[in-house]
A = this chain, B = another copy of it.
Amino acid sequence: MGDLIRISYLVQSDADHVRARAEALLLEQTVELSRAAVRDAWVAEHILGRVERIEPEGDRTYRIMIAQPLAAAAGDPAQLLNLLFGNSSLQPDLVLEGLALPDEVLAFLPGPRFGATGLRALTGVIGRPLLATALKPMGLTPVALGRLARSFALAGLDVVKDDHGLADHAICPFERRVEACLRAVTQVQSETGHRTLYIPNLIGTPERVREQLRFARDAGVPGVMLSPMLLGLPFLAELARDAGLPVIAHPALSGVLRAAEPALLGTLFRWYGADAVIFPHAGGRFSYSSETCRRLAEALRTPHPLVRAALPVPAGGIRLERVGELLEFYGRECMLLIGGSLYEAGDRLVEVTRALVQRVATVAAAEQAEAR
C-alpha cells in the first residue's frame, strides 16, 4: 500500500459487532462501497486500507486502529481530512482519537514554518514562558485599542494579539487597527527598549484574508493569528506556506464532540502549519480536563525530525494566582494567554499586568535555581 496514515477511533460497539463495524469504518473513508462492490483490482490494492488492530477500551468501547494509504489523500490537505474523518464524523458512535502522519505528507502540509523556537526568538525571551494578552472588546476604535496595546507593552507583555472576534468592523477597520497597534508597541520599544509583538487577527473569506495578510506583512507585523476551523484547515496550510510569518491558531468553532482535542488542535493544527496553538486550560470556563491539556501540549511539542514543535498557548480564564500551577504543568516552553482578569483591573491595568510579568519571572527563576 505504500506509505500509511494511521488513525485510531474510539467506537461504541458490542463484541459481536465490532469487527463488522471496523470494516465498515475502513470502507466509509475511501471507497464508500461494500468490499464486494469494489470490482477494480488496482483500487483494492492501492486505495483500500486495512484494520490493523481492535482492542477493548472500557465498557462497550473499542479502539479501532486503521491504516490508510497515503495515496488516497491525493496530496491534498482537504482530502486528507476526508480520509481521517469525512463521512465518519457524521456517525455518532465514534470519535477520532488520534493519528500518526508519515513524513511524506510534508509534501503538501507545511508544518510550523517558525515553530515555538522561531516565535520565541522574535521576543528575545529565554528561560520563562512567554506572556500574552488579547486586545478587546470588539467595538473599541483603533485609537482605543492602540492605547490598550501601549499599556500592555509598557507593562512588559511579550505578545499582544487581537481578540479572535476583532474582524473588519465599521468602527474599527482592520487596516486602521493594525496601524494603530503596531505604532503603539513600536513607540513603547523606542521609549523603554522592551519589544512587544503585536499580532493581528485575520478573518474573512479567503480573498479578504489574503488582502489582510498582504497589508499586515507590508505594515511590518511579526506574526498573524487566525481560526483554522472558521477559515478551513486547508486554508491554514496554504497561508502558513505563503505567509512568511509565524501563525498563531485560535480554536474558535472547533467544538469537538467527536474528535479528541489533542488530535484536532494538537496534531492537525501543528502539521497544517500553526506555529502556536491557543486552547483553554483546564479549570477555566471551557471544561477541558487536565489530561486533555497535557496530551494536547504533548501533540504540539513531541520532537519530530522534520516537523518543528509548536508553542502551546493555554488560555481561558487564567488568573495571576494560577501562574505557578501553569508553569508547573506546561514548563517554560509555552505562552500564557491572560485576558479577562487583566481587564477587570480597570484603571490599574498596567499595574496588575506588571505584577503578572514579575510573578512569571520570579517563579521561572526560582524553578531554574532549584533545578541547579
Please give the distance in Å from A149's CB to the nearest CB on chain B: 15
A368 an interface residue at 8 Å Cβ cutoff? no
Tell me how far the C-beta of A303 lies from the nearest C-beta in chain B, rounded to whole angstroms: 28
Q: Which partner residue on chain B sits nearest A264 by CB separation?
A: B256
A371 close to B (CB within 8 Å) = no
Contacts of A36 in B (CB 8 A): 344
Is A89 a contact of B234 with CB atoms below 8 Å? no
Across the interface, A238 reaches (CB within 8 A) one of B24, B206, B280, namely B206
Expressed in whole angstroms, the minimum distance between the Cβ of A203 and any Cβ of chain B is 5
Binds B, one of A25-33, A187-195, A325-333, A351-359: A25-33
Residues of B within 8 A of A90 (CB): 251, 254-256, 280, 286, 288
Is residue A221 contacting chain B, with contact meaning CB distance below 8 A?
A: no
Say whether A54 faces chain B, with CB atoms less than 8 Å apart.
no
Q: Is A47 among interface residues, defined by CB-CB distance under 8 A? A: yes
Check B32 against A253 for contact (C-beta < 8 Å).
no
For window 110-167 of A, CB contacts with B under 8 Å fall at 134, 136-140, 144, 163-165, 167
**Which of B40, B93, B136, B230 makes the CB contact (< 8 A) with A81?**
B230
Contact, CB under 8 Å: B340 / A78: no
List residues of A (165-216) whose CB comes within 8 Å of B's CBs: 165, 167-171, 203-208
**Contact B33–A340 (Cβ < 8 Å):** yes
Residues from chain B with Cβ under 8 Å of A30 in the complex: 137-139, 165
- Give the residues in chain B near A205, CB-CB below 8 Å: 76-78, 234-235, 237-238
Please tell me which one of the listed residues B75, B87, B264 contacts residue A252 in the complex, with CB atoms under 8 A apart. B87
Tally of this chain's copies:
2
- Does the CB pair B344–A168 fall under 8 Å? no
A362 within 8 A of B: no
Question: Contact at A79–B165, with CB atoms within 8 Å?
Answer: yes
User: Could you tell me the distance between the alpha carbons of A227 and B253 in the complex, rounded to whole angstroms?
Assistant: 16
Count of chain A residues with a beta carbon within 8 Å of a chain B beta carbon: 89
Measured between alpha carbons, how far is A285 from B88 in the docked complex, in Å? 10
8 Å CB contact of A231 from B78, B165, B259? B78
Q: Taking CB as reference atom, which chain B residue is nearest A144? A: B40
Q: Which residues of B contact A42 (CB under 8 A)?
A: 139, 171
**Beta-carbon nearest neighbor of A206 in chain B:** B206
**Bound Cα distance A165, B82 (Å):** 7
| Cα(A47)–Cα(B141), bound, Å | 12
CB A314 to nearest CB in B, in angstroms, measures 13
Q: Which residues from B are CB-within-8-Å of A340? A: 32-34, 37
Distance to closest chain B CB from A272 (angstroms): 10
Task: Report B-chain residues with C-beta under 8 Å of the C-beta of A252.
Answer: 81-82, 86-87, 89
Which residues from B are CB-within-8-Å of A87?
164, 252, 286
B91 and A167: CB pair below 8 A? Answer: no
Check A40 against B86 for contact (C-beta < 8 Å): no
Which among A229, A230, A285 has the highest number of chain B CB atoms within 10 Å?
A230
- A253 CA to B253 CA in the complex, in Å? 13
Binding site for B on A (CB under 8 A): 24, 28-34, 36-40, 42-43, 46-47, 71-79, 81-83, 85-93, 134, 136-140, 144, 163-165, 167-171, 203-208, 227, 229-235, 237-238, 251-259, 264, 280, 285-288, 339-340, 343-344, 346
12 inter-chain pairs at a CB distance below 8 angstroms, sorted by A residue, are A28-B285, A42-B171, A76-B203, A78-B205, A78-B227, A82-B252, A90-B254, A205-B235, A206-B235, A229-B256, A254-B256, A256-B256
